[in-house]
Amino acid sequence: MAVVRDEFDDIHDSEIQETFLERIEGLTEMFPDAIQSAAVSTANWSVWGIKGLFNATKSTVWLISTTSLIAFLPYIIEKERSDLEKTQVAQQRQMLLGPSAAIQQAKTN
């Protein structure tokens, strides 16, 4: 019985430059089709699940951020306006009555 040799038998294993995908493709030949299809199906479902989770998270973050912005922005603006008004009153009081009146006013509040 004669052994059939091809050109790849003459090349030493350390000299073969093989990419990662070529190695994976070579390994697929040793697994049955059922296992291959199960692995592909699992990978596809995983990608689908991750995309769905990302989209759900994205929508949730958008909903929470816009709702909180709409709910709290008027309060923040009104508080800032009130603080500005108090500052202006204190400045007017200081101009009219002197620095000691503004200090006394601040101590009473």
What pLDDT, in 10s, does the model give residues 66-100? 999 999 999 999 999 999 999 998 888 888 887 77
Whether the per-residue pLDDT at 1 is higher than 60: the answer is no
Rounded CA-CA distance 28/14 in Å is 22
- Element (H or E) spanning 80, and its range? helix 33-97
Exposure b/e, 45-59, CB count within 10 A at least 16 = b? eeeeeeeeeeeeeee
Residues 6+ apart with CB under 8 A from 102: 90, 91, 93, 94
What pLDDT, in 10s, does the model give residues 18-27? 788 888 888 8
Rounded CA-CA distance 83/95 in Å is 18
